[in-house]
Amino acid sequence: MDQQTLPVLFDANVLLGPQAQRPPGAPEDVRALIATMDAYGITRGLVAHTWAKGHDAATGNARLTEEVKGQGRLSACWVVLPSATGEVPPEPEQVDRLLASGARAARLCPVAHRLSLEPWEVDRLQGALAERRVPLLIDLDNRHWGEPRPWRFIVWCCRTYPDLPVVLLREAQANFRTLFALMDRCLNLVVETSYLQGHDAIHLMVERWGADRLVFGTGMPVYDPALPIAGLTYAGLSPEALAGVAGGTLRRLMEGCQV
């Protein structure tokens, strides 16, 4: 493969901002993040803000919008919450504001934000996102492949809102028996690849479900981008499939937002 055919990597899973336990050399601001992306050959990033995930959704999302303004390589992803407490606007208004800001994806963090994921808690949020077809990234803060997943919620979400693209972040090989059954049944379920390390799994999943069911991601700057990059570039995909997983699928999902 020569320089002309290098995949255009569009990273679906990037955080911007300060971290409590900052890994050595981890970028925290836009300039450092762009430099890190250059070092790892990453062209674009779909970015959520650590303030929005770890401090306050509204101020974090506003900060994100401001920091990525004018940065063509960074696209904003807002952190979203149910509105019952009043700490965020009602769900349709949240989604209106998200789209008006230029963001084209939402990130739900059920572990970090102590959500039960019961339908009566999150149905309005999922409904509002589905109505505007805003891709929903589910961030379960999983640190190891052995940790459990809220499969009932994921199935409910995919089946109740079939127009909602549901992107499962950091899904791993230990769940293949469950995940493969879901991939067959839920056509709006998309897997992000930062932790997808099963042997030849990316190739196998693309063969079985197509490149539009996988999106490349790294989880940086918490995690090392090197592993998922080589996991993709050495996956043995056709150039078309490689381009899709590397970025085409994510671009298509974001372009599907009904602004």
Partner 1 sequence: MKTMREMALGGVRLDGVRVIDGHCHLGPYMGFYQPKNGAADLVRTMDRVGIDRACVFSTLAVTIDMRGGNDLSLAAAKAFPDRLLAYVVPDPNHAEAVPGELERCFGAGARGIKFHTSLHNYPFDGPAYHPAFAFADAHRLPLISHGVGSPDTLRRVARAYPGAHFIVAHAGAGGPQGDALLRVAAEEPNVYLDLASSVGRFGAFAEVVQKAGAHKLHYGSDVPWMCFTHQVGRVLLAPIPEADKRAILGGNLAALLATRR
Give me the residues that bind partner 1 (CB under 8 A), please.
Answer: 1-3, 5-6, 23-26, 39-41, 143-145, 172-177, 180, 195, 197-201, 204, 220-236, 242
Output the six-digit token pair for 186: 């839920």
Residue recorded with tokens 């199935």 = 155
Question: What is the token pair recorded at 231?
Answer: 């996991």
Q: At which residue do the structure tokens 């979400």 appear?
A: 157
Does residue 116 come out as left (phi exceeding 0), alpha (psi in the -120 to 50 range) or beta? Answer: alpha
Question: How many angstroms from the chain centroid is the CA of residue 84?
Answer: 24
Nearer to partner 1, 28 or 56 (CB): 28
**Min CB(258)–partner 1 separation in Å:** 35
Give the chain's radius of gyration (CA, Å): 17
Residue closer to partner 1, measured from CB, 231 or 244: 231
Query: CA 151, CA 216: separation in Å to the nearest integer?
Result: 22
Q: Taking the complex as a whole, how short is the minimal distance between the CB of residue 39 and partner 1, in angstroms?
A: 8
Distance CA 74, CA 238 (A): 27
Sheet with 74-76, side-by-side order of all strands? 9-16, 42-49, 74-76
Q: In this complex, which beta carbon is closest to partner 1, that of residue 181 or of residue 187? A: 181
| Cα separation, 137 vs 162, whole angstroms | 15
Nearer to partner 1, 5 or 85 (CB): 5
State the Cα–Cα distance between residues 53 and 67, nearest whole angstrom: 16
Nearest distance in Å: CB 186, partner 1: 18
- Nearest to residue 238, comparing CAs of 227, 246, 250? 246
Quick one: 131 or 224, whose CB is closer to partner 1? 224
Minimum CB distance to partner 1 smaller for 23 or for 210? 23
The token duo for 33 is 């993040």
Instruction: Provide, rounded to whole angstroms, the least separation between the CB of residue 32 and partner 1.
Output: 12
Contact yes or no for 83/90 (Cβ under 8 A): yes
From CA 164, how far away is CA 219, in angstroms rounded? 22
Residue (36 or 188) nearer to partner 1, CB: 36
| Shortest CB 161 distance to partner 1, Å | 28
Query: Closest distance between partner 1 and the C-beta of residue 77, in Å?
Result: 19
CB of 255 to partner 1, least distance (A): 26
